[in-house]
Amino acid sequence: MSRGEYLKNPAASKIMVFAGAAFFFACGLAAAAAQDGGIKGCRTISTPDPANRQVQFFFFVPDLAAKEALKVLVCLPGLNTPGTTFDDPAWLDFADRNRLVLIAPSFQADDKGFAEKRSFQYPEVWSGQALLDMIAAVGQVVRLRTDGLYLFGFSAGAQTAHRFALWKPELCRAVAFFAAGRVDLPERRISVSFLAGCGELDDQRLAGIREFAGRAEKLGMDIVLKTYPDMGHALIPEMEADARIFFVWQLSK
C-alpha cells in the first residue's frame, strides 16, 4: 500500500480484537477504575515549570491477555483542555484493541512562557521530560515498550507532539498532529512517520503544516499531508479517525 492510500482504504482500519482478563494496579495509580476491556485513572506528577507545578494525566491500560510489554500512545489535547478528553469510547476501544497504553496530560497555558519558548509546547525545555516521567510512572506497574512511542496532538498539543519527535526521534515511531499554531521544521531526515493535518479554512496554521510536510518530503521522511475542506480551527471526528487509521497502519509495519 502506498503512502496515503490507507486513508482511503476501509480495510486499512481493521483492527484485531484481543481477549483478556481485567488487570488491577498494585502501586497506587490514583483513581484507577475498572473499565470494560481495561483500567483507567488519573495521576499527578511534579514539574519545574511555574505554571505547571503539578500536572495531572489520564491513563488507560488495556485488558491484559498476557503480560507482554505494551506500546505507548501519548495523546496531547488543545490548549487548556484536560487529558480526560481522551476518556472517550472511540479512543479507549482503539487502545484496548491495539494493545496500547494511552497517556494524556493536562498541561496548563502560560502566555509569557510561550512567548519565551519555554511553555509546554516546547518539550525540550521541560514538558518532554514530564511526558517521560508520566510514562515511567505507568511503567512501574505494567511493562512498557518505550522505544517506539505513538503521539497524537491537536493545536497546542500538536506543537508539543511534533517537537517531541524532532527532539527525541529515537523514542518515536509515529506522530499524527493537527492544526499546530507554530511548527518547527525538521533539519535532517529522521525515522519517524508523520500524519500532518489541518482545516483548509485555518489559514495561518495550514501554511505551517504545509511547510512542515514540504520540508519533510524533501528530506525523504515518511510524511502524509491531509487537509479538511470547509473546516477552520477545530478538532473534528474525521481527524481523530484518520489518526487512528494512520496508527493502525504504522502498527502493522
Instruction: Identify whether the C-beta of residue 97 lies closer than 8 Å to the C-beta of residue 16.
Output: yes
What the block records as the C-alpha cell of 214 is 514540504
Average pLDDT over residues 182-201: 98
| Average pLDDT value over all residues in the chain | 87
Residue 183 above 70 pLDDT?
A: yes
| Domain residue ranges of the chain, discontinuous segments joined by + | 5-10+32-251
Average pLDDT over residues 28-33: 43
**Which residue, among 141, 53, 62, has the nearest Cα to 96 in the 3D structure?**
62
Instruction: Identify whether the C-beta of residue 200 lies closer than 8 Å to the C-beta of residue 232.
Output: no
pLDDT, tens digit, 9 for 90 and up, residues 144-176: 998 899 999 999 999 999 999 999 999 999 999
Place of cell 493536562: 106
Residue 33 above 70 pLDDT?
A: no
Band the pLDDT of 32: cuts 50, 70, 90.
very low
Instruction: Identify whether the C-beta of residue 44 lies closer than 8 Å to the C-beta of residue 55.
Output: yes
Residue 48 above 70 pLDDT?
A: yes
Residue 36 above 60 pLDDT?
A: no
Band the pLDDT of 6: cuts 50, 70, 90.
very low
Q: Specify the DSSP class assigned to residue 65.
A: S
Residue 67 above 90 pLDDT?
A: no
pLDDT reported for residue 174: 98
pLDDT, tens digit, 9 for 90 and up, residues 68-93: 899 999 999 999 999 999 999 999 99
pLDDT, tens digit, 9 for 90 and up, residues 105-158: 999 999 999 999 999 999 999 999 999 999 999 999 899 998 899 999 999 999
CATH superfamily of 5-10+32-251: Alpha/Beta hydrolase fold, catalytic domain (3.40.50.1820)
> Measured between alpha carbons, how far is 191 from 163 in angstroms, rounded to an integer?
14
pLDDT reported for residue 63: 82
pLDDT reported for residue 147: 85
Band the pLDDT of 240: cuts 50, 70, 90.
very high
Residue 185 above 70 pLDDT?
A: yes
DSSP string, 149-176: EEEEEETHHHHHHHHHHHH-GGGEEEEE
Residue 2 above 90 pLDDT?
A: no
pLDDT reported for residue 68: 82
Task: Name the pTM for this structure.
Answer: 0.86
pLDDT reported for residue 102: 98
Q: Lowest-pLDDT range, 26-35, 89-98, 132-141, 181-190?
A: 26-35
Q: Which residues contact 145 (CB under 8 A, 6 or more apart)?
A: 69, 70, 71, 72
pLDDT reported for residue 27: 35
What the block records as the C-alpha cell of 87 is 476518556
